Amino acid sequence: GNHGRSKAFGNEIHRMLTLEDGKTPDYLVVSHLEPDHAANIQNFVEKYPTAKLVLSMKAKAMMPQFFEIDNLDDICITVKEGDTLELGEHKLTFIMAPMVHWPEVMVEYEEKENQLETLAALLHYVYTWADLYDRKQLYATLRNAAGI
């Protein structure tokens, strides 16, 4: 099935993600696979065939349950707790949060902006974690919330 994929929504995402100079995204960070949040991953992969999916190992293992992506091994970058992704002047640090919502869940901390990218499932726990905690406390709090 299409799990709620919307071509119209996919086209809108394409319009938003195509920069003025014609560049397109290099990465899509997949924090969570529940279809009501991630249904347009297939559209993204089709529109941006050179982009990489950055996701947890568990998320990669779950992808075939939701999407038909032939070259999954070629386009996926799997990350684990504490791995980083350099994005020019920005750097994402990945924090695994299994079973906070689903088993593949992860969140991302961006150091320069001091911002934690969370799932909607985490938002009722905390509003702006990066403003409230230093980095070590942030990791400890997330691990505790995830039961790990």
Reported as a single tens digit per residue, the pLDDT across 105-114 is 888 888 888 8
Mean pLDDT, range 41-58, rounded to an integer: 91
The single residue listed with the structure tokens 């568990």 is 58
Amino acid at position 64, single letter: P
pLDDT at position 15 is 59
The answer to whether residue 96 scores a pLDDT higher than 50 is yes
List the structure tokens of 26. 């290099």
Q: How many CA atoms lie within 13 A of 114 on its CB side?
A: 8
